[in-house]
């Protein structure tokens, strides 16, 4: 495989997620702090005459390699926008659970854009790439950069955030093994505006913030409450919260030993966990 033909689809974490209002178009205005793990799904590509996708890995069975897959949609949109005639044989190693609040298809689509920009020798600074990302989904622009950022509007209005205090922090992800559709959780939001997300140092802002989707997510998947309680009771935890619309929850720790001890204590049949760190 040629150099640069592998890309990680970094798991997305919402350190805080404030839902402010439901818009007339059905979307929601929100304020969030995006951060990213060092781990994720892995996407590889080789030159080919046409586009093709194969999916392997622990969670491959939850996805279809057909045309509606976000990886293929990203590839097709990029090829059309730049008049590319070449194809690519894509292989996705699906290591993260699906419908889990940690990027999933959005991170995979963003990884496809980064990977194919290199494979097809496209200028990575071309504004059309970010425009494609925005059309693919609200989280895709943040996942395209995969760097700490504040998201406003529907999450696509991004402001980079200084992340020196976050980079390298030990991170534990825990999912109770239940997929949870984003639309269902947003539909359960009580439409109460609980106030803005603060500015300033990102960890302090996150600690002072919240995830407004935790309550409706717990109503759908009560096991989230158990995950959160276990994470928050762990020694050395600095922040524990549900990510996105769930059901994955996360905790940031003072050191890797505390993270690993929490992972061992929270091991349950059917639950998924990942010991990693922040980028």
Report, as an integer, the average pLDDT of 50-57: 96
Report, as an integer, the average pLDDT of 222-231: 98
Q: Examine the residue annotation and report whether 94 is marked as an active-site residue of this protein.
A: no
Among candidate residues 142, 160, 178, the one where a domain is terminated = 160
Report, as an integer, the average pLDDT of 51-70: 90
**pTM of the predicted structure, to 2 decimals:** 0.95
Instruction: Kindly report, residue by residue over 11-27, the tens digit of the pLDDT.
Output: 999 999 999 999 999 99
Mean pLDDT over each residue of the chain, to the nearest integer: 96
Q: What is the pLDDT of residue 2?
A: 45
For residue 211, the SS3 value is strand
Neighbours of 117 (CB within 10 A): 19
Confidence check: pLDDT of 4 > 90: no
Q: Are 110 and 190 in the same domain?
A: no
Instruction: Kindly report, residue by residue over 160-174, the tens digit of the pLDDT.
Output: 999 888 999 999 999
User: Which band of pLDDT confidence, cut at 50, 70 and 90, is reported for residue 92?
Assistant: very high
User: Which band of pLDDT confidence, cut at 50, 70 and 90, is reported for residue 68?
Assistant: confident
Q: Which among 136, 147, 111 has a CA at the least distance from the CA of 9?
A: 111
Q: What is the pLDDT of residue 203?
A: 95
Q: Is residue 194 part of a domain?
A: yes
- Cβ atoms of 62 and 179 within 8 Å: the answer is yes
Q: Is residue 1 part of a domain?
A: no
DSSP H or E stretch at residue 268:
none
User: Which band of pLDDT confidence, cut at 50, 70 and 90, is reported for residue 180?
Assistant: very high
Instruction: Kindly report, residue by residue over 192-223, the tens digit of the pLDDT.
Output: 999 999 999 999 999 999 999 999 999 999 99
Confidence check: pLDDT of 226 > 90: yes
Q: Examine the residue annotation and report whether 12 is marked as an active-site residue of this protein.
A: yes
Q: What is the pLDDT of residue 1?
A: 38
Among candidate residues 97, 132, 160, the one where a domain is terminated = 160
Domain of 240? 170-277
Report, as an integer, the average pLDDT of 37-62: 96
Confidence check: pLDDT of 142 > 70: yes
Q: Are 176 and 272 in the same domain?
A: yes
The one catalytic residue in 12, 41, 93, 94 is 12
Q: Are 111 and 177 in the same domain?
A: no
Rounded Cα gap, residues 40 and 47, in angstroms? 23
Three-state SS letters, 20-53: EEECCCCCEEEEEEEEEEEEEEEEEEEEECCEEE
Q: Are 227 and 122 in the same domain?
A: no
Instruction: Kindly report, residue by residue over 248-273, the tens digit of the pLDDT.
Output: 999 999 999 999 999 999 999 999 99
User: Which band of pLDDT confidence, cut at 50, 70 and 90, is reported for residue 118?
Assistant: very high
Question: CA end-to-end span of the chain, whole Å?
Answer: 26
Q: What is the pLDDT of residue 66?
A: 73
Among candidate residues 101, 125, 160, the one where a domain is terminated = 160
Report, as an integer, the average pLDDT of 221-247: 98
Q: What domain count does the chain have?
A: 2
Q: Are 195 and 242 in the same domain?
A: yes
Q: Is residue 220 part of a domain?
A: yes
Rg (the chain; Cα; Å): 18
The one catalytic residue in 108, 139, 163, 212 is 139
Q: What is the pLDDT of residue 67?
A: 64
């Amino acid at each position: 495989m040629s150099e640069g033909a592998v890309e990680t689809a970094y798991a997305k974490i919402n350190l805080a997620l404030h839902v402010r209002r439901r818009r007339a178009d059905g979307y929601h205005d929100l304020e969030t702090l995006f951060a990213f793990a060092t781990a994720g799904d892995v996407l590889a590509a080789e030159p080919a005459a046409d586009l093709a996708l194969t999916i392997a890995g622990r969670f491959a069975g939850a996805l279809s390699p057909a045309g509606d897959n976000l990886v293929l949609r990203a590839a097709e949109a990029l090829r059309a926008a730049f008049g590319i005639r070449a194809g690519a044989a894509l292989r996705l190693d699906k290591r993260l659970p699906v419908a889990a609040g940690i990027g999933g298809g959005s991170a995979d689509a963003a990884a496809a854009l980064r990977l194919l920009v290199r494979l097809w020798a496209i200028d990575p600074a071309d504004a059309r790439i970010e425009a494609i990302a925005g059309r693919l989904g609200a989280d895709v622009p943040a996942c395209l950069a995969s760097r700490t950022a504040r998201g406003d509007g529907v999450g696509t209005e991004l402001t980079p955030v200084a992340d020196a205090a976050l980079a390298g922090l030990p991170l534990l992800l825990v999912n109770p093994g239940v997929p949870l559709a984003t639309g269902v959780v947003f539909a359960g939001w009580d439409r109460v505006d609980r106030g803005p997300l603060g500015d300033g140092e990102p960890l302090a802002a996150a600690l002072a913030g919240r995830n407004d989707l935790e309550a409706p997510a717990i109503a759908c998947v009560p096991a989230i409450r158990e995950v959160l309680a276990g994470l928050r009771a762990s020694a050395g935890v600095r922040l524990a919260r549900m990510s996105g619309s769930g059901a994955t929850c996360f905790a940031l720790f003072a050191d890797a030993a505390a993270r690993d001890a929490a992972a061992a204590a929270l091991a349950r049949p059917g639950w998924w966990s990942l010991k990693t760190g922040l980028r």
